[in-house]
Amino acid sequence: MSGYVLVADDDPKHAALVRVCLESDGHEVTVVSDGRAALRAAAARRPELIVLDVMMPEVDGLEVCRQLGGDNGIPIILLTARSTENDMLLGLYLGADDYLTKPFSPRELVARVRTVLRRARPVRTPDDNVIQTGRVRIDADRHEVWVSGRPVELTPVEFEILLVFALRPGRVVSRRQLLEQLHGDAAYLTERTVDSHVMNLRRKIETEPRRPELLVTVYGVGYKLAEPAPVADDEDGHGSP
């Protein structure tokens, strides 16, 4: 699961460590030292993934994330020395797929990179592997989503979340279950992380994100993808034309 990774970090020693870790795992790596250079490098050659420090000169990591992540489709792992949860959630809101808080182990970074790259690449499934539930249509082979016939661009994490729900229409999925799907058994990740991803997903698939009709909250439990409304029968017991 190797790929082309862009690393943006203004700490030369830390950037060198990240490069060595990723190259040892078979990745091709380009390193830049500030956010503006990261934007230029990504424009010159689109990376498969960006490992992005939050605190950088010129342009900070959150601004790079806003410009390159999310709808732009480049998976991003944020590196942050900040310990407050709000900073992490802001990064996820802006389009990051994952984050690591410094200091972290090289093995953990390598594992996260592998996981995000795996999500970002299309799953090889039969050509007819299309899931339709109500107004939501998912082509798992092509990583494409339509809502009411409208194509919707999702990040790899958002796609994976929606796929989890689409395979269980009408069934409640808890935040803990989603965390395990996204990150495995990582105790330091919080259920608020899930809420942030769900909020981003609603912004893209709902007509009114503040009043969701597709991805609804089951208070105190989790979320579910609403089942299609049954077709009402007429007086003769036949469905409406």
**Among 18-32, 73-87, 218-232, where is mean pLDDT lowest?**
218-232
Alpha carbon distance 169, 148 (integer Å): 16
Task: Pick the last residue of a domain from 80, 101, 120.
Answer: 120
Cα 102 to Cα 8, 79, 99: the distances in Å are 15, 7, 10
Each residue's pLDDT tens digit, 121-174: 654 444 457 888 888 889 887 889 999 889 999 888 888 889 888 887 778 888
Question: Could you tell me the CATH number of the domain that includes residue 144?
Answer: 1.10.10.10
Residue 45 structural domain = 4-120
Are residue 69 and residue 140 in the same domain, yes or no? Answer: no
| Residue located via tokens 């990591």 | 61
With cut-offs at 50, 70 and 90, classify the pLDDT of residue 25: very high
CATH number for the domain harbouring residue 105 = 3.40.50.2300
pTM of the model: 0.62
Name the domain count of the chain.
2
The answer on 101 and 8 residing in a single domain is yes
pLDDT of residue 34: 93
Beta-strand ranges (E) seen in the chain are 4-8, 28-32, 49-53, 76-80, 98-101, 130-133, 136-139, 144-147, 150-152, 173-174, 215-218, 222-225
- Do residues 60 and 135 share a domain? no
